[in-house]
Amino acid sequence: MNIVLLGYGKMGKAIEPIALERGHQIAARIDATNRTELETLDADSVDVVIEFSSPESAVENIKTCLERGWPVVCGTTGWLSHRTEIEQLCADKKGAFFYASNYSIGVNLFFRLNKTLAKFMRNYPSYHASMTEIHHTEKKDAPSGTAITLAEGLLENLPNLNGWVEQPTDKQAQITSTDAVAIESLREGTVPGTHIVRFDSDVDRIEIAHIAHSRQGFAVGAVVAAEWVQGRTGVFSMDDLLDA
- How many angstroms separate the CA atoms of 211 and 6, rounded? 26
Q: What would you report as the CA-atom Rg of the chain, rounded to the nearest whole angstrom?
A: 19
Residue number, 112 or 119, with CB nearest to ligand NAI = 112
Residue number, 14 or 158, with CB nearest to ligand NAI = 14
Does 132 bind ligand LZUJQKHR (CB under 6 A)? Our answer is no
- How many angstroms separate the CA atoms of 59 and 51, rounded? 10
Residue type, 51: E
Residue number, 13 or 139, with CB nearest to ligand LZUJQKHR = 139
Residue number, 26 or 175, with CB nearest to ligand NAI = 26
Does 210 bind ligand LZUJQKHR (CB under 6 A)? Our answer is no
Q: Are 7 and 31 in contact (CB under 8 A)?
A: yes
How many residues comprise the chain?
A: 244
Sign of the alpha-carbon torsion through 184, 187, 189, 194? positive
| Options 24, 135, 195, 210, the catalytic residue | 135
Does 57 bind ligand NAI (CB under 6 A)? Our answer is yes
Does 216 bind ligand NAI (CB under 6 A)? Our answer is no
- Residue 135 is among the residues annotated as catalytic for this protein: yes
Shortest CA distance to 104 belongs to which of 215, 232, 229?
215
Strands 194-200 and 205-211: antiparallel
Alpha-helical (H) ranges within the chain are 10-21, 37-40, 58-67, 83-92, 105-121, 145-157, 216-229, 238-243
Does 143 bind ligand NAI (CB under 6 A)? Our answer is no
- How many angstroms separate the CA atoms of 209 and 93, rounded? 39
Does 193 bind ligand LZUJQKHR (CB under 6 A)? Our answer is yes
- For residue 161, the SS3 value is coil
Q: How far is the CB of 69 from ligand NAI (least distance, A)?
A: 19
Angle between helices 58-67 and 83-92 (to 10 degrees): 10
Binding residue (CB under 6 A) for ligand NAI from 3, 19, 96, 100: 100
Residue list for the binding site: 35, 75-77, 100-103, 136, 145-146
Residue list for the binding site for NADP(+): 35
Does 72 bind ligand NAI (CB under 6 A)? Our answer is no
Residues that bind ligand NAI (CB under 6 A): 6-12, 30-32, 35, 52-55, 57, 61, 75-78, 100-103, 138, 218
Residues that bind ligand LZUJQKHR (CB under 6 A): 77, 101-102, 135, 139, 144-146, 193
